[in-house]
Amino acid sequence: MKLSTRCRYGMRAMIEIAGRQGSGPVKRREIAQAQHISLGYLENILSALKAKGLIETHRGKDGGFVLKKSTETITLLEIVSALEGSLSPVTCVEDRKKCGKSTDCLSRIVWKKMHDAQTNVLKGISLDDLLQYNVAGIREIDYSI
């Protein structure tokens, strides 16, 4: 699965907000400048993240965006799902009724394994984990067994 630009930028926006926790709300303009995202595009992304309950807006002169939950409880799966929707490579993985061949389809086994692997990786990493990786200077995770 290839993630959209919207998803990649949304992840960066969430990391920016998370990294500034405790310093008050982060203004949209600050996120856009720090992450090199246009204000218009960022507005669309932030609206989606807000609609899914990941961030909230504080109004006023000192307003901006804050996380709605702690960095420890927000997983990358929540962020990606909020911006991409389903992670399923084919519709029958989440709903067998979408395909009349799903009970006999051998390739569905592969699509299901792909889906489960992606889901488990994203579910297993929180925003806090990413912030900790940053502190430690980690830029790549080894998933080999």
pLDDT digit string (tens) for 67-105? 999 999 999 999 999 999 988 888 878 877 777 777 778
Identify the pLDDT of residue 143.
Answer: 57
Structural domain contains residue 66: yes
Please name which of 118, 22, 19 lies closest in space to residue 11, comparing C-alpha atoms.
Answer: 19
CATH of the domain at 89: 1.10.10.10
Structural domain contains residue 128: yes
Structure tokens at 25: 């709300």
Average pLDDT for consecutive 10-residue bins of the chain (145 residues)? 92 96 94 96 97 95 94 97 90 76 81 92 95 79 58
Local structure of residue 140 (DSSP, 8 states): -
Q: What per-residue string of b and e applies to 39-58 under the rule 16 or more CB within 10 Å gives b?
A: eeebeebbebbeeeebbeee
Q: The domain containing residue 24 runs over which residues?
A: 5-136
Instruction: Judge if pTM exceeds 0.95.
Output: no
How many structural domains are present in the chain? 1
Structural domain contains residue 141: no
